[in-house]
Structure 1
Amino acid sequence: MDVDNTPTRVEELWFSDSGLVVQAEQSLFRVSGAVLAARSPIFKDMLSFMQPPDAETIDGCPVVRLPDLAIDITCFFRAIFDSSFFESYPAQVDFVDVLSILRCSDKYEVEYLRRRALVHLSYNFPTTLSAFDAQESSTNFDDIQDVDDRTSVCIAVIQLARQTNALWLLPKAFYELATTDNETIRGALQCTTFNGQPATLSANDEMLFLTSSLHISRLEGDVVSFLHCTNRLPCAKGDICSIARLRALAQVQTYISNVVGPIPLDLCELASVWDGLLENCCVGCYVWLQDTHARARQSIWDKLPGICELPPWPELEKMKADALKD
C-alpha cells in the first residue's frame, strides 16, 4: 500500500499571522520565528542567517526543516506557544509530553521548559526515601495512571536521563525496572519505544539493568532479617513473639515466591506482615521490629546509587538542585 508522504499542517500550530514554517517529518508548523529566537539561543542562531533568494517557501514563509520527531516538536511548540498546555508541577501532565518537551528543550536550550519537565520527572523519581514513601504509587502523569508496563516507562526515563545528564532520576528508575523474571528481562532488553517515542537501553545500561536487578534482589534478605534476629531483649511474651515473627517471615517468603520482583523497600508492607506482628508481639518487640525495619529500608535506599554506579545521594541531590534552580 502506498504511503502518503505529503506534508500536513498541524492546525493547532498553524498561525496565519506568523512568518516561519517549520517541518518535522511530514508535519508543518507555522509559528513566530521571533518567539522561537527569544526562547531558544539555538533557534536564534539558526534564524539569524540570511535566506538566499531561491530558498524554499510555503505561503511566502521561509521553511526550516528539523531532524526531530513530529510528536516531539508538536509538544515542544505547544509548550512554547500555549501557556496552559504544559504547566508547572503539581499540574497533571502527560508523561509522553514531558519526555518530548525535555528532549527538545534540552537540545534547543529552552531552559525554563527544561527545568519544568525535570521537576515533573523528579517528583515521580525522587531522591529521598521519605519522598518515595509519600508517593504511594501515585503520579501526576495523566497517561500512566493505569499503565502496567512499567518496563518501557522506566527505560524511557533512563535513556532521557542519560541524554540530559539528569542522573538523580536513575536510582529510582533502575529500582522500578529491577526484575528476576525471564519474560520481563527479555522485554526490557528488546524494548525500543514507548508510545511512539524512543525507549531503549544502551549496551552499558543493559548490563547495569541485569547487575542491578541481581543486587537489588539480594537486598530482600536484608530487609527481612529483623524477623529472625534474636537481639531484642527483654521480651514480655517470649515464645509468642518468636512464633509471630516466624509466621511473618513465612508470609514474606510466600509473597516473594509469587511476585515478579524484587521489591525490598515495599516487601513487608505488600506481604501484610505488620497486622500479625501488632496483634501477637509485645509492645517492646513491636516497636523494636519497626525501628529495625526502618533502618534496614534506609540502608537499602542509601545503597541504590552505588548499585547504579552513581555518586551517593548527597551528590545527586546537589546536581538536582543546581539543575532545577531558577
Structure 2
Amino acid sequence: MFELNPHSIDKEVPVVELSVSAIDLSFFLKALHDTSFFRQPTPSGVAAPFSIISAILRLSDKYDVPCLRRRAIEHLEVVYPTSLKGWDLSPRFESSTPFDHGVAVKLANDFNIPWIRPMAVYRLASQPFDVVLASLFRVGLCEDDMGMCIRGIRALRTLQFSCGIVTLSLPRKLMSQGALCTCQDILKAKWNAIIGGDFDDPLAVYSVKTEGFCMSCTTRITETFASRREVWDRIPTMIFNESWDTLEALRRASIDKEDVSSYM
C-alpha cells in the first residue's frame, strides 16, 4: 500500500510519500478505522458528501479494499438509481457543488459503473447550461464522455418537449358556474416556462404538468401524453442505447462477482 522513497529522509528517519491527496487519504483511513464514519446509505434524506464518496471509491480501488469500494458505489447508486421508485426517493449530496454530477460521469467510466451513468448525465444536464458547459471541461471528461453528455442534453430537451404540454389544444368551454375554462391560458404559461428555462428535467415537468387544470382537461392531458414511467424508460435508451434492464443486470452481476471474490 505504501512505498518508501530512499531519498526522502528527515533527520535520518525514512519519510513515507503517497501519490494521493492528504484530504482523500484522511477520508479513506477514517472509513477503514471508524465504522460510524461511512455507513450504508439510505435512499432518502441527504447523501454523504460527494467529496468523501469519490475519495473512498478511488483509494479503495487503488489499494484493493472491496468492502469500501462496494460501499462507495452503493452511495452513488442511491443518488443515481436504476429504478423510477429509487429516483423518487433519491437524496441529494450533502454540501454539493455544481460539478459533482460531471465527476460522477467520469467515475462511472473510470471504475466501470455504467448503471449510474444515465442519471448522472441526467442530473448534470438538468442544471443551467453554463454550469453544464463548465463541468464538461473542468472535471476532465474524455472525448467519449463529453459526447455522451452532449447527447444527454439533446435527449433531455427532446423528452422535455415530448412530455411537456406541447401541441394539446384545449377548447375554451363553459364551466358549471358559467365561467369560461382558463386551462388554455394555463397551458400557454406552462409551455412558456418549459421552453424558457435554462435546464431540462422532463421527469419533474411531467410530475407537475396537470396542476392548475380543471378535471376535464386534466383527464385529457393524462390520456394524451406519455406516462412518467415511459419517460423514465426512454432516458438510457436515448443517451446510451441501453435499457434499464440491461444496466440493472450489469449492476447485479457486479455485486455477484464481488461476493464470489470475497470468499476466495
Fold match by TM threshold 0.5? yes
> Which structure has the larger Rg?
1
The aligned counterpart of 1:98 is 53
Residue number in structure 2 paired with 1:286: 218
Q: Measure the CA separation in 1 of the matches of 2:154 and 2:13.
A: 56
Change (3 A) 1:307 1:109: farther
Please state if 1:276 is matched with 2:231: no
Shift of 1:201: 1.5
Residues 291 and 120 (structure 1 numbering): CA distance in 2 closer, same or farther, change over 3 Å?
A: farther
Asked if 1:190 corresponds to 2:137, the answer is yes
1:239 aligns with 2:173: yes
Q: State the partner residue of 2:199.
A: 261
Alpha-carbon distance, 1:240 to partner = 5.3
Find the partner of 2:28 among 68, 73, 76. Answer: 76
CA deviation digits over 1:294-315, x for unaligned, max 9? x432222212212332521111
In structure 2, list runs of 5 or more residues that go unmatched: 260-264
1:323 to 2:254 alignment? yes
Q: CA deviation at 1:116?
A: 0.6
- Alpha-carbon offset, residue 56 of structure 1: 6.4
Cα distance change of structure 1 residues 96 and 180 upon mapping to structure 2, 3 Å threshold: closer
1:180-229 Cα deviation digits (max 9, x unpaired) = 965334312332xxxxxxx3211111122222211210112210258717
| Contact 1:302 1:312 survives alignment (8 Å) | yes
CA distance 1:324–1:288, shift in 2 (3 Å): farther
Q: Distance in 2 between matches of 1:93 and 1:247?
A: 43
Q: Output aligned runs, 1:151-190, within 5 Å.
A: 152-178=99-125, 183-190=130-137
Q: C-alpha displacement at 1:171, in angstroms?
A: 0.5
> For 1:46-57, what aligned pairs fall within 5 Å after superposition?
none
In the TM superposition, structure 1's runs of 4+ consecutive aligned residues that sit over 6 Å from their partners are 54-62
Distance verdict in 2 for CA 1:225–1:296, change over 3 Å: farther
How big is the shift at 1:92? 5.4
1:298 matched to which residue of 2? Answer: 229
Answer whether contact 2:126 2:200 (CA < 8 A) is retained.
yes
Alignment deviations for residues 265-302 of structure 1 (CA, whole Å, 9 cap, x no partner): 11144xx543322xx233xx534533654x43222221
**Residues 1:95 and 1:162: Cα distance change in structure 2 (over 3 Å):** same
Number of aligned residue pairs: 250
TM-score, scaled to structure 2: 0.79
**Structure 1: tracts of 5 or more residues without a match:** 1-42, 192-198, 231-236
User: Does the alignment pair 1:252 with 2:190?
Assistant: yes
Are the structure 2 counterparts of residues 275 and 181 from structure 1 closer, same or farther at C-alpha, using a change threshold of 3 Å?
closer
Q: What percent of counterpart residues are identical?
A: 25
3-state SS of the aligned residue for 2:155? helix
